[in-house]
Structure 1
Amino acid sequence: MPRILVLYYSAYGHIETMAHAVAAGARDAGADVAVKRVPDLVPTDVAAQAGYKTDQAAPVATVSELPGYDAIIVGTPTRYGNMAAQMKNFLDQTGGLWFRDALVGKVGSAFTSTGSQHGGQETTLQSTHTVLLHLGMVIVGLPYTFKGQLRMDEVTGGTPYGASTLASGENDRDRQPSANELAGARFQGRHVAKIAAALAGLHVEVSP
């Protein structure tokens, strides 16, 4: 049974909702799943004034616990085509893990949200992959076997780099993840869990 961490940051709740869908998919595939969030950097009064969703039940993760998982699935909203500062701040603290090769060979994956159809979903996912690759992780996306990516009858997120959702409206809270977007998130969770289980079963020693 692979151990999977769904690690996310969510200001308005969209990524939080997607994170729980990813976790549900991974659990469907038999994984032991933890859903945790990274610390916020925004002062409490500023967050309240901006309408942030501050009642999220997921506990805050620590960098030191990351090596205990077989796969880490990162969820972050887009900020100018890149991951949110809160997630980057957390990942920037993994230097010690990088130095020890503590995450090499583990599965890494990502999902995101944007405020528009062309708000940088794919660049955010790819830039997140870049960080995970530097940590030596094996990148898994959302394959086209999830046919919801091919839909043309509605506005929807979903890319081969990872699941995604679109947020819009006042404080980006009016539009919540659609059924198709949540299906993509669950599919990604299952897909990561299956690959993590397969890799965990391959006890192959490779000489330097």
Structure 2
Amino acid sequence: MAKVLVLYHSTYGHVEAMAQAMAEGARGVDGTTVDIKRVAETVPEELARKSGYKLDQEAPIAAVDDLPGYDAIVVGCGTRYGRMPAQMAAFLDQTGGLWAKGALNGKVGAAFTSTATQHGGQETTQFSIITNLLHLGLVIVGLPYSWQGQMTLDEITGGSPYGASTITGGQGQRMPSDNELDGARFQGRLVAETAKKLFG
């Protein structure tokens, strides 16, 4: 049985929705268990509330020591100037002890993200996640062109070979489209299938 963790940070709920779709795709693989957890919000609560953060997310807060218990770890977060936000970086920066022990070597990893605009740094943010996962020894699963949705010209859409993604709009007014959620489900399933082959 493969165990998959979808680990995310979501400010306004867009990445949370993508995380749920990613988990849905992974759960579609027989013999797979999936948990969704989030990293702690580091913005002070009063400021977060004034800024409209979605603080009522169901996913429990993850601990670094949770990670070795999974065969696959899918990391998702929004974009800050073309890289991962401080909240996710702060969490991953605490994994030095796991790195030193090789605790995550050979596990499966993947990345997903969101940006406000089409060219707001989705791929560089995914690479900032993937770089961390490679340093920790994970084997990366992207979103291959076998998912044809990323090639559509019929609508504006996220998604790249590096992972699923969504475009939120400058005011966060756009939630993930059906196509973007399908991309997340496809990648989640591929992660679970890969983990099952390696650990199932």
Q: Aligned partners of 1:77 and 1:26: how far apart in 2?
A: 21
Aligned twin of 2:194? 195
Q: Which moved more, 1:71-80 or 1:161-170?
A: 161-170
- What is the one-letter code of the residue matched to 2:65? S
TM-score, normalised by the number of residues in structure 1:
0.94
Structure 1 runs of 4+ aligned residues shifted over 3 Å read none
2:158 corresponds to: 157
Q: 2:119 and 2:86 mapped to 1: Cα distance?
A: 20
Partner of 1:24: 24
* Unpaired segments ≥5 residues, structure 2: none
CA distance in 2, matches of 1:27, 1:47: 32
Alignment of 1:116-131 (within 5 A): 116-131=117-132
Distance 2:66 2:25 in 1: 22
User: Counterparts of 2:196 and 2:119 in 1: how far apart (Å)?
Assistant: 34
Q: Which residue of 1 aligns with 2:69?
A: 68
On the 8 A contact 2:123/2:160 being kept in 1, the answer is yes
Larger radius of gyration: 1
Gaps of 5+ in 1: 202-208
SS of 2:19 mapped into structure 1: helix
TM-score (norm. length: structure 2): 0.98
Shift of 1:200: 1.2
* Residue matched to 1:132: 133
Deviation at 1:160, TM superposition (A): 0.4
- Counterpart of 1:204 in structure 2 is none
Give % identity.
62
Q: RMSD value over aligned CA atoms?
A: 0.7
1:110 deviates by 0.5
Question: How much has 1:29 moved relative to structure 2?
Answer: 1.0
**Alpha-carbon deviation of 1:169?**
4.3
Q: Matched residue pairs, number?
A: 199
Q: Distance in 2 between matches of 1:179 and 1:53?
A: 21
Matches within 5 A, 1:1-208: 1-30=1-30, 31-170=32-171, 172=172, 174-201=173-200
